[in-house]
Amino acid sequence: MTITMKWILSAIATLGILAPLPTVAAPLCRTELPGAITRIINRPEWERSRWGLLIQPLDDDTPLYNHQGTAYFNPASSAKLLTTAAALHHFGPDYRILTPIQITGRPPRLQTLRLIGKGDPTLTPQDLQTFAQYLGEQGVTEIDRLIVEDGYLPGPATHPTWEFSDLYFYYGMVVNSLILNENSFPLTITPQQPGQPVAITSEDGLALAQWEIENQARSAPPETPYSLQMTGRVGEPVLAFRGRFPVDTAPRQWRMALRDPGAYFLAQLEQSLQAEGITVQSTQIDRTPQRHKGKETFLLQSPPLSQLLQDTNQPSNNLYAEVLLQTLGLGVGQESSLSALTVILSQLGVEADTHQLRDGSGLSRHNLLSPLALVQTLQGMETTPHREVFRASLPVAGVSGTLQGRFQDTPLAGVLLAKTGTMTGVSTLAGYVDQPDGSTVVFSIMVNQSEQAISRQRAAIDEIVLLLWNLQDC
């Protein structure tokens, strides 16, 4: 049988095979939208996939398109929309996470120095150096007891529903009250001569020392298929590397999770003090908060919540989202952080039975969320005084965050504001499409249980979203 070029072009048009997004989106009648979307999600490649979609005008509860809009799906990182919306609604954009430091004694010798961690995810070793320099300028040369508190945030440090294999990487890090460098550190893997073990190094020696490296990965001749893998061991501080790393391949940089962030924080603080000539006689980590009186000599503070939301939603930062969720729980005074989340979301008009979350970031595969929950969250935030702050936290199509590489050279570039979600078999997108006539469409699109490549899932979602531009009554 001869396969003609006409047949190939027909297949591309029918199946969407490698079809680029159009650079010009023709106006579409609202009545034509359901048929156009249905044709996309009914293509043969989506036979095994599960779709959930809800699309409606911002100021109208009558859907433009609804397919399984109230059913539960795994939202992946689009769950961060609920967390950040609730935090902004409850705390306001100027809220900051404060880290108090208390002392007893007077220079040159302090009896105690107590730093009380409150879960600020923005702290860096440079912040500790600045504090140490301040003490040095005040004439401090000795500290009898250096104490750090690591028990303020109520949730478990290691989330019980996260995948075991995620816990070793930066996106599955420990969530605690003492955080430096986002509780992660860089690891560089470099090939050596063929047959030799690869070199595994880090510029952060304190972090690397928390792990035992088991290196069975070998450097391989040029053009050998790359097969480097890392696995951990349950209950053991081991990072095991295996596979082959061709010598003609550039070094790889991975970002790994700290094993004990509290101990890392204390070691960095002690190191900073010693660098300023301040001797520390003893150190201690308090895992439960204590009530100690002392003069507050220094107060570290995070950027305002408006910036924290951007740092959460734009790059889809799991640590920031989990800190916000646990902080919300403390602020609302509910039995759990997730209960607090439900209470605040209900104030925004998000119905309680539209979501059953297990974390604030979307990393848990136990999360259940309907497209309706996301649409109600987006609609609810538009009614608050902080609507512009919330919008500013979202990735912009073709411009920023996780949407920087999507919708480029389309009418939605610089216009679409939306939060992405991605994990194996899952792609989601939810946000706002501002129309040329000044109206706004809110949408949530979720693909679950798909064997198709993530790139194909995203392409189909983007094709649907592009249909939402310039909708018209015909």
pLDDT single digits (tens) 181-191: 999 999 999 99
Range of the structural domain that residue 331 is part of: 24-94+306-472
Residues 282 and 238 in one domain: no
**74 with 424: CB under 8 angstroms?**
no
- What per-residue confidence (pLDDT) applies to 400? 98
CATH number of the domain that residue 459 is part of? 3.40.710.10
CA distance linking residue 172 with residue 44, whole number of Å? 35
Q: What is the pLDDT of residues 241-273, one digit of tens each?
A: 999 999 999 999 999 999 999 999 999 999 999
CA distance linking residue 340 with residue 333, whole number of Å? 7
Q: Is 376 exposed, middle or buried (0-12, 13-18, 19+ CB in 10 A)?
A: buried
Residues 337 and 443 in one domain: yes
Residues 452 and 360 in one domain: yes
Joined tokens for residue 224: 């050998």
Which residue is associated with the tokens 């159009």?
22
Joined tokens for residue 223: 């053009």
CA distance linking residue 20 with residue 410, whole number of Å? 10
Residues 89 and 198 in one domain: no
> Residue 20: pLDDT band by 50, 70, 90 thresholds?
low
Strand 28-29 to 471-472 pairing: parallel
- What per-residue confidence (pLDDT) applies to 5? 31
Joined tokens for residue 80: 């961060």
Residues 243 and 265 in one domain: no
Residues 250 and 285 in one domain: no
CA distance linking residue 447 with residue 429, whole number of Å? 9
Residue 281 has pLDDT above 70, yes or no: yes
Q: What is the pLDDT of residues 443-452, one digit of tens each?
A: 999 999 999 9
Residues 188 and 313 in one domain: no
> Residue 292: pLDDT band by 50, 70, 90 thresholds?
low
Residues 251 and 270 in one domain: no
Residue 2 has pLDDT above 80, yes or no: no
Instruction: Give the mean pLDDT of 37-59.
Output: 97
